[in-house]
């Protein structure tokens, strides 16, 4: 008998009903490895962790709590995009200081934090390594509040603040939905409750031509694959690689951008995770400039040393 086809919702419902991947594989007459593979794909797509229990409802509640797309119309002006800050207590990086400085200097119309503002190491599904020390959830939230308030205060009056959610950001609500579903809709259980100045979304769309979201394709060639397969200019984070890849065809030129990371590549957030192996990451952020509604070539501001970022052929002290 051939393996049965099933939708994402059907698989989520099976985890609620049957709990065991082995039983789910029998239900759909397929190899259990297919169940694990599909679950990983759904988790990556929705930014949630699928466990047994009432996960079907909690996923849709998460999607309902965060508008899918934030539409923006910008004729002339700057959009400043930072990503993957993974803020930890008592660590203020050069890239973060640079981002705050650019909020004051370039007067952006919109500021976007493109996912993984929080790290939430203590509620990761991955176990701790070697009894490593991790900040508590409240320490992380308070640190993120401080860093984001520095950005808000530096930006011009009237600027919009958008937070396109990342997989690390989603850990808070996923953990609570999995362990304490009875607290759904109680004030404080949603990440946005702690950051009222920031508008949450899965994706920002600028002039219906530029996509900003935390992640799409993976791997070293992600910006290249992103721009080809999205059909639009697209700015992502997640990979920490800080690069711009142009793509030209009969429709013109569009860009795939990886923002880099506002965190330090070898910061304590990543030391045990990477085992201090070399990483192809760079500490940077992205500047988008629009003229008559058209995106100019995206620019990266990249850390040069502890006190400077390089931008437009000069060193900017931060």
C-alpha distances (whole Å) from 18 to each of 27, 51, 70, 270 are: 9, 11, 37, 36
Map residue 139 onto helix, strand or coil: helix
Segment 67-119, tens digit of pLDDT: 588 999 999 999 999 999 999 999 999 999 999 999 999 999 999 999 999 99
Confidence check: pLDDT of 285 > 70: yes
Tokens of 308: 């400077």
Tell me the mean pLDDT in the region 52-62.
43
Query: What does the mean pLDDT of the chain come to?
Result: 88
Beta bridge partners of 244: 257
Name the one residue in this structure whose structure tokens are 């799409």: 216
Segment 113-122, tens digit of pLDDT: 999 999 998 8
| Distance of alpha carbon 145 from alpha carbon 147, whole angstroms | 6
Q: Give percent above pLDDT 90 in the chain.
A: 65
Of 69-78, 82-91, 128-137, 201-210, which range is least confident? 128-137
Residues counted in the chain: 318
The residues, ordered by sequence, that sit 6+ positions from 184 with a Cβ below 8 Å of its Cβ are: 58, 61, 177
Name the one residue in this structure whose structure tokens are 């803020």: 87
- Band (215; pLDDT cuts 50, 70, 90): very high
Name the one residue in this structure whose structure tokens are 């058209």: 294
Confidence check: pLDDT of 50 > 80: no
Map residue 162 onto helix, strand or coil: strand
Question: Of 128 and 162, which is predicted with more confidence?
Answer: 162
The answer to whether 123 and 100 have CB atoms below 8 angstroms apart is no
Phi, psi of 314 (to 5 degrees): -140, 160
Confidence check: pLDDT of 259 > 60: yes
Confidence check: pLDDT of 19 > 70: no
Segment 144-181, tens digit of pLDDT: 999 999 999 999 999 999 999 999 999 888 888 888 88
| Distance of alpha carbon 256 from alpha carbon 266, whole angstroms | 25
Name the one residue in this structure whose structure tokens are 């304490």: 180
Nearest to 13 by CA among 3, 27, 1, 2: 27
């Amino acid at each position: 008998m051939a393996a049965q086809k099933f939708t994402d919702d059907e698989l989520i419902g099976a985890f609620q009903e049957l709990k065991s991947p082995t039983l789910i594989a029998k239900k759909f007459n397929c190899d259990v490895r297919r169940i694990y593979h599909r679950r990983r794909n759904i988790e990556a797509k929705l930014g949630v962790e699928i466990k047994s229990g009432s996960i079907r409802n909690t996923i849709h509640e998460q999607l309902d709590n965060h508008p899918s797309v934030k539409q923006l119309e910008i004729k002339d002006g700057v959009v400043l995009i930072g990503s993957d800050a993974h803020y930890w207590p008592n660590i203020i990086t050069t890239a973060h200081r640079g981002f705050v400085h650019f909020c004051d200097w370039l007067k952006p119309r919109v500021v976007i934090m493109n996912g993984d503002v929080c790290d939430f190491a203590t509620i990761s599904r991955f176990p701790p390594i070697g009894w490593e020390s991790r900040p508590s959830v409240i320490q992380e939230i308070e640190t993120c509040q401080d860093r984001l308030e520095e950005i808000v205060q530096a930006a011009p009056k009237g600027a919009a603040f958008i937070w396109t959610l990342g997989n690390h950001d989603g850990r808070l609500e996923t953990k609570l939905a999995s362990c304490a579903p009875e607290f759904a809709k109680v004030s404080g259980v949603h990440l946005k409750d702690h950051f009222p100045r920031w508008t949450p979304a899965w994706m920002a769309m600028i002039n219906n031509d530029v996509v900003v979201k935390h992640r799409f394709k993976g791997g070293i060639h992600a910006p290249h694959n992103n721009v080809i397969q999205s059909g639009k200019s697209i700015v992502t984070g997640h990979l920490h690689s800080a690069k711009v890849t142009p793509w030209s065809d009969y429709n013109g030129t569009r860009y795939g951008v990886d923002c880099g990371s506002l965190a330090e590549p070898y910061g304590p957030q990543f030391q045990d995770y990477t085992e201090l192996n070399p990483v192809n990451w760079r500490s940077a952020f992205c500047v988008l400039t629009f003229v008559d509604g058209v995106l100019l070539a995206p620019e990266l501001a990249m850390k040069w040393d502890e006190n400077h970022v390089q931008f437009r052929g000069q060193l900017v002290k931060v």
